[in-house]
Amino acid sequence: MMNGQQYVESLQKRNPRVFYKGKRLARPYEHAAILPHLRTAAVTYELARDPKHAEVMTATSHLTGERVSRFTHLFWSVDDLLKKIGMLRLIGQETGTCFQRCVGLDGINAIWSVTHEMDQAKGTDYHARFRKFLERLQREDLMSAGAMTDVKGDRSLPPWKQADPDLYVRIVARKPDGIVIRGAKTHITGAVNSHEILVMPTLGVPPEGADYAVTCAVPIDAPGLTVVFGRQSNDERKEEEGIDCGTAFGVVGGESTLIFEDVFVPSERVFMAGEGDFAGLLVDRFAAWHRANYGGCKAGNADVLLGATALLAEVAGTIGNAIVKDKLTEMVHLVETNYAGAVGSSALAKKLPAGNWLVDPLLANTVKQNVTRFVYQVARLAHDIGGGVLSTLPSDADFQNGEIGGLLRKYFAGKQGSDTDDKRKLIRYIEGMTSVSTLVEALHGAGSPQAQRIVMLRQAKLAEKGELARKVLGLGKK
């Protein structure tokens, strides 16, 4: 397995086509906007090499028998799923932000399970192809980004009825040795600093939409692939020095839009090409695993946010106040409720025909539904405790100014014995991790709230529960 530095060096050997703020980046992995996300992903490699964390960060591959990163491992048991949730919380605690590797992990599990069933039903050889790809992913310890969300255009129309047929990624040509794809995927977490892009469909499709049922692996520097790195709240601070730029790890996952301009994908990298009746199954399974994740990673991030909020209250001299303690207690309650749901959905997992295990879909979707609300509530409590200074603190340059810096340090001092710079670091972290970018990601990442509600109702078995009510209440039959 690679260490963090080897991971960075492995990316620097690639030459992806990356744009940011209207310019092509000649050296994207040295650009200040991308470096925080690169550093965060590097932490996942460092933790995997640390013997103290080997039990949660690594696993024995059922493909090769070798020790591999858990981010390239299949969920081969309930224990694997529980350790994954523990791993996500650990990395969240170590970085205080999104570490970008969950989508790829859930993607490989979804593709593994669905290609097995597709081959059984249709006589294709997708599963064998994917097995070889996954063996390489494990052997070379590569980072993969899952690319599912299409740009979608007119959402009242299906992909094949759009005025522009390229608004969903599709197959535009089939060749003896592969396929050609065109379109765009957006909101893709960690794409710019991944080695491989796992392209997946965004919905199930009928026969007339078969060209939109495509799953394949595309190298980050494949000819015809353009990465447009997205903007975030306060993103120009990443290009500054000093306290205002926040932690070394930035906020959220460095999302990008990926534009595929007639990208050729060799057959050995194609894992679905027109099997629309299996596209929806892949989406559902991916979504279940990914939505459960949020109880782990968001709990880890919230551990840091909760700690920062408590420390800021200590600096302000309010930590002993009963009202502040009650607000901190509510933050704990919200965070642990999410974590408990993630653990529960993993504990109730069931084995799939391909051998890996799927989390309980109802609990997994409930976790993500709670996240869409609880992260906002946790942020509100942090804002309440932190105060208005979270949005009005003068710049670091003002604090460093020889004429007014001393005055600012005097008037922004906290409790006697506290350090003003430490106070400012706490303020900037809380500001960043409760910003628009962070909250919107919590709301829409892994699917928007209504998507979870659709699955929750589908999984709720209302008819069966109606029969339970009839039995208990002594009602007559229908």
pLDDT at 234: 87
Rounded distance between C-alpha atoms, residue 454 and residue 361, angstroms: 11
Q: Can you give the residue ranges of every domain in the chain?
A: 280-469
In this prediction, residue 252 carries a pLDDT of 86
Confidence (pLDDT) at 191: 98
Specify the pLDDT at position 72: 98
Supply angle C-alpha 306, 439, 240, rounded to 5. 80
Condensed to tens digits (0 to 9), the pLDDT of residues 217-256 reads 999 999 999 999 999 988 999 888 899 999 999 888 899 9
Res. 318: pLDDT tops 90: yes
Write the pLDDT tens digit of every residue in 376-391.
Answer: 999 999 999 999 999 9
Q: Give the three-class secondary structure for 63.
A: coil
Mean pLDDT of the chain: 97
Alpha-carbon span 415 to 22, nearest angstrom: 45
Residues contacting 470, CB < 8 A, separation 6+: 476, 477
Starting at the edge strand found earlier in the chain, the sheet holding 196-199 runs: 144-147, 196-199, 214-219, 270-273
pLDDT digit string (tens) for 297-316? 999 999 999 999 999 999 99
Stretch (H or E) spanning 434? none
pLDDT at 203 over 80: yes
Confidence of residue 477 (pLDDT cuts 50, 70, 90): confident
Sequence length of the chain is: 478
Q: Residue 100's CB: how many other CB atoms inside 10 A?
A: 28
Q: What is the mean pLDDT of residues 447-456?
A: 96
In angstroms, rounded to a whole number, what is the distance separating the alpha carbons of residues 72 and 69? 6
**Rounded Cα gap, residues 392 and 387, in angstroms:** 10
Distance (Å, whole) CA 127 – CA 87: 27
Q: What does the pLDDT read at residue 241?
A: 87
Q: Could you tell me how far CA 288 lies from the centroid of its own chain?
A: 13
Could you tell me which CATH class the domain 280-469 is placed in? mainly alpha
Q: Which two tokens stand for residue 72?
A: 């390239």
**By three-state DSSP, how is residue 204 classified?**
coil
Which H or E run includes 237?
A: none
For 96-145, write each residue's pLDDT tens digit.
999 999 999 999 999 999 999 999 999 999 999 999 999 999 999 999 99
DSSP type of residue 445: T
Q: Which two tokens stand for residue 200?
A: 């997946």
HSE on the CB side for 423, CA within 13 Å? 24
Q: Tell me which amino acid residue 134 is.
A: L
| CA 220 centroid distance within chain | 18
Number of helical (H) and strand (E) elements in the chain, helices listed first = 16, 14
Rg (alpha carbons) of the chain, rounded to whole number: 24
Can you tell me the distance from the alpha carbon of 21 to that of 11, in angstroms, rounded to the nearest whole number? 21
How high is the pLDDT of residue 478?
A: 75
For the segment 185-194, what is each residue's pLDDT rounded down to a tens digit? 999 999 999 9
Query: What is the C-alpha separation between 266 and 211, in angstroms, rounded?
Result: 16
pTM: 0.97
